[in-house]
Amino acid sequence: MKHVTLTSVAIAVSLFATGVHAATDALPQEAVVEAQAMPEQSANEQATLGTIADITSQESTFATLVKALEAVQLDSLLADGGPYTVFAPSNNAFDALPEGTLEYLLDPANAEDLKAVLAYHIVDESLTSTELTETQKQQPTVEGTELTITPSEHGVQVNEANIVAADIQASNGVIHIIDSVLIPAELANVVEVALNSQ
């Protein structure tokens, strides 16, 4: 059985050299410190990397994300497919959603909405922090709509979310941790109406 953690996969987390946003509450401080000091991966280390599903399932930082992925069977996509880029909200990001939103999304009756939200965090190619900082771009997602990637001297934003840790390498792609949950605009309106009608 593979044992993969954020501190053992040679994250190459830049927080970037150009400066990712300082909102590191999305990642345990000890993980940030160790990630910054991590050396480059050897060929052997690269060969033993787990999948995106392996890495997220073994880190408490992603507990809510994993629960949501498993609820709509998207964990299997991240275990078998790829390469992908996953903009992974931390537990704190989910906790910061407006009151009732997470409960709405995790309700089995709203599984299709949850699946759309999660798929909106997945890009069907592997994009490193270097590629993300090249220029502002519209990036298609597995969900079907696009994310706006905006680099600046302070780091990189994905829509309104900040990347707080980058380049967590997996065997089938890369993970970037973000500090808020991304919801497609049209679906955000649906969720808001549903919550207001309760």
In this predicted model, what pLDDT tens digit does every residue of 162-191 receive, in sequence order?
999 999 999 999 999 999 999 998 888 777
Question: Could you give the CA distance from residue 174 to residue 122 in angstroms, rounded to a whole number?
Answer: 10
Residue 51 lies in a domain: yes
14: in domain? no
Taking 90 as the threshold, does the pLDDT of residue 5 lie above it?
no
Provide the residue range defining the domain that includes 43: 24-196
As for how many domains the chain has, the answer is 1
88 or 25: which carries more pLDDT confidence? Answer: 88
- Predicted model pTM: 0.78
The reply to whether 74 falls in a domain is yes
Do β-strands 137-140 and 146-152 pair in parallel, antiparallel, or remain unpaired? antiparallel
Distance CA 103, CA 143 (A): 21
Tokens representing residue 139 in the block: 């990036």
Confirm whether 4 is domain-assigned: no
- The one-letter amino acid code at 70 reads E
* Domain annotation covers residue 13: no
Q: Is 135 inside any structural domain?
A: yes
In a domain, residue 3? The reply is: no
Distance CA 44, CA 93 (A): 34
Task: Return the CATH number at 175.
Answer: 2.30.180.10
Has residue 19 been placed in a domain? no
**Amino acid 192: pLDDT:** 77
The 10s digit of each residue's pLDDT in 32-85 is 433 333 334 444 454 578 999 999 999 999 999 999 999 999 999 999 989 999
Q: Which residues contact 171 (CB under 8 A, 6 or more apart)?
A: 49, 50, 51, 82
Question: Please, which residues have CB within 8 angstroms of residue 146's CB and are 6 or more apart in sequence?
Answer: 138, 139, 140
